[in-house]
Structure 1
Amino acid sequence: MAEFFTFMSAPAAGCIILSIIFTYFGCHVLKREIVFVDLSMAQLAALGATIAFIMEIELDTPESFVISVLFVLVGGAFFTWTRSFSHRVPQEAVIGIVYIVAASAALLLSSFSVHGDEHLKTMLSGSILWTSWKDVIRQLAVSLIVAVLLVIYHKKIEEQSLSYRSLRTTGISSFWKWDFLFYVLLGMVIVFFIKTAGIFTIFTFLIIPATCAALFVDQLFKQFVVGSILAIAVSLIGLTLSFYLDLPTGATLVCSFGATFFIALILSKFRFSGQG
């Protein structure tokens, strides 16, 4: 047990931060029906990191973060702009196109490096087992800054999330800045988690806890609370399984959340069947 706490305390702390901040965004993403925006933003951040990698810039350096942030900002601006076309083209189609192009570009660029395959694997699955306390402190600091901004502007962000479908037909003249702010804040968090968590794990923390919570509660804040508690519990279980069974940490976390989703789906089916 002492060995577990020695090796897994920092990854566990990182997972707790992941659980809270990404569940919040996940609840809003579900309401906005832009489920794959996280994948696209994460892939854009990874593309920026890949460009830095090709330029022989270390992932943990300020230069690498700046490049990733620039790609996230451009992505956020692009998604905000293309929302004005959503009456003709679904936003999810645009998000999917950005994801596949960014992923292909990263794959293409990685082919120019001897260690490109290893870099791509890190971007996809992360290295959460090797999360250090330095990483945790940095992630906590960024998450707290983002959380403060979310608290300050929560009324506007929540109002937009709850009426996102109807607002699609009104254009972006009145709401574009809140749309852009939402994308930028989500992107900032992704940039600081992409190296340790990876694209797959980030998407898992964003979508599955929020989805499970939405199966049982309707109110947005309650979904956030239930989803956060669930995410923390499942991630700690996943870390424990990974440690004692000597399994890949990222994949174990994703599969643990996947199993939780199917259990929640079955329980919700029985619950509502009983009410009927």
Structure 2
Amino acid sequence: MPSLEILEIILPALAAGLMIALTHAPLGLEVLKRGIIFIDLAIAQIAGLGLVVANIYLHERAGITIQLFALSFALLGGLFFRFIERKTPELLEAIIGSTFVLSASLALLLLADHPHGGEEIQHLLSGQILFVTWTDVLSHLPVYALILSLWFTLPKVRSGISFYFLFSLAITSSVQLVGIYVVFASLILPAIAAYKYKSKLPIAWSCGILSVIMGIVVSTLWDFPAGNVIVLSYAISSILILYAKLKHFSE
């Protein structure tokens, strides 16, 4: 394949991956700080369920309708978790995990008789980042720009219902671009990598940027599934970054 064609595939995928990495890093740090680790998986799966419902019953695969459907599902999930957080916070993590299992089971049931059910499940979980186009990137860019601008200019949005709204907004876009596995990895693993560092956000950003570049390059060169390779890249990067800090402490 000519190098120009490779660049046409890699560049929008890189842009999407980096856009997600930069947005997810501060969200992931907040999730780890709150101890609600599986909320990203749960809301990602709820948004995914919305995508499945729109696909099957509305025959939509793209456009504003499917965006609104997925976002509505994710926002309802976020509102529900906020309600539980206020009423019975000690049960929040258990309910988040249970909601993930329930929404995943519903999605599988809906796709059981779908002619392309296996393909749809694979797409939902691992994504198809190498099939992302510049049109996809530009359509989701305003969402991530809004989230980051609000996050850094209005600190109050990091708590209460505002956090769940921004989180749901980010997850809805990210699931469509890269799938549930990469969404979870890009939120939690950079936060883990930065856990022992004083300047956590720059470390989390560095971990995300390195992981996306490494994952996309490796998957393209060796023709591996991009989503799975990116997850492994996040794991390797976070382990190395955290190990470097722990080793420094032990010396």
TM-score, reference length from structure 2: 0.93
SS at match of 2:197: coil
Return the match for 2:170 from 168, 189, 207.
189
State the identity as a percent: 29
Deviations 1:209-239 (A, max 9, x none): 121012322xxxx311221122112210111
Corresponding residue of 2:184: 203
Alpha-carbon offset, residue 130 of structure 1: 0.6
Alpha-carbon offset, residue 86 of structure 1: 3.6
Matches within 5 A, 1:156-167: 156-157=156-157
* CA distance in 2: counterparts of 1:262 and 1:229, whole angstroms: 13
Matches within 5 A, 1:62-211: 62-86=64-88, 89-154=90-155, 156-157=156-157, 178-211=159-192
Alpha-carbon offset, residue 144 of structure 1: 0.9
Alpha-carbon offset, residue 42 of structure 1: 0.3
Corresponding residue of 1:216: 197
* CA distance in 2: counterparts of 1:211 and 1:230, whole angstroms: 10
Alpha-carbon offset, residue 39 of structure 1: 0.5
Structure 1 runs of 4+ off > 3 angstroms?
Answer: 1-4
Amino acid at match of 1:147: L
Contact 1:123-1:198 at 8 Å conserved across structures: yes
Contact 1:54-1:112 at 8 Å conserved across structures: no
SS at match of 2:194: helix
Paired residues, what number?
A: 249
Moved more, 198-207 or 107-116: 107-116
Look at both structures and tell me which one has the larger radius of gyration over its CA atoms: 1
Contact 2:125-2:179 at 8 Å conserved across structures: yes
Corresponding residue of 1:161: none
* CA distance in 1: counterparts of 2:200 and 2:25, whole angstroms: 9
* CA distance in 1: counterparts of 2:57 and 2:194, whole angstroms: 42
Alpha-carbon offset, residue 266 of structure 1: 2.8
Contact 1:215-1:264 at 8 Å conserved across structures: no
* CA distance in 2: counterparts of 1:184 and 1:66, whole angstroms: 14
Aligned in 2, Cα 1:59/1:179: closer, same or farther, shift over 3 Å? Answer: farther
Contact 1:124-1:200 at 8 Å conserved across structures: yes
Amino acid at match of 1:194: V
Alpha-carbon offset, residue 2 of structure 1: 4.4
SS at match of 2:53: helix
Alpha-carbon offset, residue 62 of structure 1: 1.6
Alpha-carbon offset, residue 3 of structure 1: 4.6
Corresponding residue of 2:10: 8
* CA distance in 2: counterparts of 1:199 and 1:232, whole angstroms: 18
Q: Which runs of 5+ in 1 are unaligned?
A: 159-177
Deviations 1:232-253 (A, max 9, x none): 1221011111111111100110
Q: Which runs of 5+ in 2 are unaligned?
A: none
Contact 1:200-1:254 at 8 Å conserved across structures: yes
* CA distance in 1: counterparts of 2:4 and 2:35, whole angstroms: 44
Alpha-carbon offset, residue 189 of structure 1: 1.4
SS at match of 1:10: helix
Deviations 1:56-83 (A, max 9, x none): 4222122211111111111111111101
* CA distance in 1: counterparts of 2:211 and 2:75, whole angstroms: 32
* CA distance in 2: counterparts of 1:229 and 1:266, whole angstroms: 15
Contact 1:59-1:65 at 8 Å conserved across structures: no
* CA distance in 2: counterparts of 1:148 and 1:265, whole angstroms: 28
Amino acid at match of 2:36: I
* CA distance in 2: counterparts of 1:56 and 1:5, whole angstroms: 34
